[in-house]
């Protein structure tokens, strides 16, 4: 008698739940200023903890990728929950900067890195027929969490203070991530849904039948091509997300309240982009979708300096965030299509290093340009627009790697 397969949609639900909780980390901006006032620290000192936590993400995905196959997504998810919640609890007891860096930068960053890659790697193995849509759903949970938990964090900080906010955050992080982890199951080896035939049309998605090891992937020039192309999207997206409010006030003449509302709009459209573009990539092809995302981002970047009112500015930066979210949702599927689903957790960790590049250069590009130019962001828009245009061209000429067996 054939063993009944686990319902793969429960895996998707578990992945969304995990990512939804991880999105709470984007509420950091709510606690940064209260922490500065509480301990008399400056912004640079405090924000370093958040930067450390984000930078550890891709690195931990790489280091724990192989453990995912050995321990399974449930155990790995529970380990991630313990690190995440434990780091938040330790942050609630800090008394100095070193404690903040250890608890939030190292512990929370480790929990984020372990937990983030599990839903992506597990879901794409269960859904070779809907990789784009499923990876988009998985990472969309992160965007939804950032929208949902920010007002909760604001309320807790105002009522109980920043340290107690981390204590309460540790409780719901442990519970929510654990629930998501318990729903996760590994897909059977070389799983193919009943009745599904892999596409053969060259212009669409034609997943490789060969599973590249990470070492084999790093030997292909296609890997470095993808990382550079992905980095161009993250540079543009993170530059706008990190500076949306000051750019709005400087370029479009917005009030502080109007600029703040644009930040909320960005979070919503970023989430929608994570759903729309990857789903579309299942129908028209990954690289076609990447081409359109980069083209829209490029044209919008070139026009940002002329968006002189609230509606036009919100539309402009919304389009960039929409396409940035699409890149975050589409590149996991590209990784699985190009290099196989078996090692996608570790392999995508190496490709996700593009996010680290974007985090280092995107926001800094804007701040450096505005300081050197006496207050103008125009050159930063031009540079990022050119990078997105190059990315669009790269998408047109991008090809999957040849497997070593060929």
Tens-digit pLDDT string for the chain (406 aa): 345 788 899 999 999 999 999 988 877 767 877 898 899 988 778 878 887 887 788 888 888 877 888 899 999 999 999 999 999 999 999 999 999 999 999 999 999 999 988 998 899 889 988 888 888 888 888 888 877 887 888 888 889 999 999 999 999 999 999 999 999 999 888 788 887 777 665 556 667 778 899 999 999 999 999 999 999 999 998 888 777 777 888 888 888 778 767 877 888 898 899 999 999 999 999 999 999 999 999 999 999 888 878 889 899 999 999 999 999 999 999 999 999 888 888 899 899 999 888 877 887 787 778 778 777 888 989 999 999 999 999 999 999 998 876 6
- With contact defined as beta carbons under 8 Å apart, do 147 and 271 qualify? yes
Other C-beta atoms closer than 10 Å to the C-beta of 59 total: 16
d(CA 167, CA 231): 35
Q: If 0-12 CB within 10 Å is exposed, 13-18 middle and 19+ buried, where does residue 40 land?
A: exposed
- With contact defined as beta carbons under 8 Å apart, do 100 and 91 qualify? yes
Q: Can you count the helices (H) and strands (E) in the chain?
A: 15, 0
d(CA 331, CA 277): 11
Pair of tokens at residue 22:
């991880």
Contacts of residue 13, defined as CB under 8 A and 6 or more positions apart, other chains included, come to 180, 183
d(CA 370, CA 340): 43
List domains and CATH numbers for the chain.
8-182 (1.20.1250.20), 214-397 (1.20.1250.20)
| DSSP for residue 93 | T
Torsion-angle region of residue 255: left (phi > 0), alpha (psi -120 to 50) or beta?
beta
Note the pTM of the prediction, 2 decimals: 0.80
Q: How far is CA 152 from each of CA 18, 28, 98, 165, 169, rounded to the nearest angstrom?
A: 18, 12, 27, 9, 10
Q: How far is CA 232 from the centre of its chain?
A: 14
d(CA 203, CA 298): 23
User: In which residue are the tokens 């070389």 written?
Assistant: 190
Considering only the C-alpha atoms of the chain, give the largest distance between any 2 of them, rounded to a whole number of Å: 74
Q: How many residues does the chain have?
A: 406
Three-class SS state of 340: coil
């Amino acid at each position: 008698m054939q063993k009944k397969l686990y319902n793969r949609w429960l895996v998707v639900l578990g992945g969304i739940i995990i990512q939804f909780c991880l999105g709470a980390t984007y509420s950091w901006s709510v606690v940064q200023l209260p922490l500065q006032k509480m301990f008399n620290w400056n912004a640079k000192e405090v924000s370093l903890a958040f930067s450390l936590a984000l930078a550890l993400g891709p690195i931990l995905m790489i280091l724990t990728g192989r453990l995912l196959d050995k321990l399974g997504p449930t155990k790995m998810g529970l380990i991630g929950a313990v690190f995440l919640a434990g780091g938040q609890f330790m942050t609630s007891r800090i008394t100095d900067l070193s404690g903040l860096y250890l608890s939030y930068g190292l512990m929370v960053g480790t929990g984020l890195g372990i937990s983030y890659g599990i839903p992506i790697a597990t879901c794409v193995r269960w859904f070779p027929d809907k990789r784009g849509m499923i990876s988009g759903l998985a990472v969309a949970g992160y965007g939804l969490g950032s929208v949902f938990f920010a007002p909760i964090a604001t309320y807790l900080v105002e009522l109980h203070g920043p340290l107690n906010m981390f204590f309460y955050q540790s409780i719901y992080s442990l519970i929510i991530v654990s629930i998501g982890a318990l729903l996760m199951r590994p897909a059977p080896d070389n799983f193919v849904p009943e009745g599904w035939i892999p596409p053969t049309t060259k212009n669409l998605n034609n997943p490789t039948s060969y599973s590249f090891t990470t070492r084999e992937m790093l030997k292909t020039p296609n890997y470095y091509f993808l990382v550079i192309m992905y980095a161009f999207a993250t540079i543009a997206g993170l530059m706008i997300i990190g500076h949306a409010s000051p750019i709005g006030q400087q370029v479009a003449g917005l009030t502080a309240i109007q600029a703040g509302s644009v930040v909320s709009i960005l979070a919503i459209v970023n989430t929608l982009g994570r759903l729309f573009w990857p789903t579309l990539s299942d129908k028209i092809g990954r690289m076609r979708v990447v081409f359109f995302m980069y083209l829209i981002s490029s044209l919008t970047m070139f026009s940002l300096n002329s968006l002189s009112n609230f509606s036009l500015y919100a539309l402009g930066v919304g389009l960039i965030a929409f396409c940035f979210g699409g890149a975050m949702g589409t590149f996991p599927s590209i990784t699985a299509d190009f290099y196989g689903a078996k090692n996608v957790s570790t392999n995508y960790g190496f490709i996700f290093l593009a996010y680290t590049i974007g985090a280092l250069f995107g926001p800094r590009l804007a701040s450096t340009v505005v300081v050197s130019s006496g207050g103008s962001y125009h050159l930063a828009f031009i540079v990022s627009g050119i990078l997105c245009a190059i990315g669009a061209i790269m998408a047109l000429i991008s090809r999957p790697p040849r497997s070593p067996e060929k």
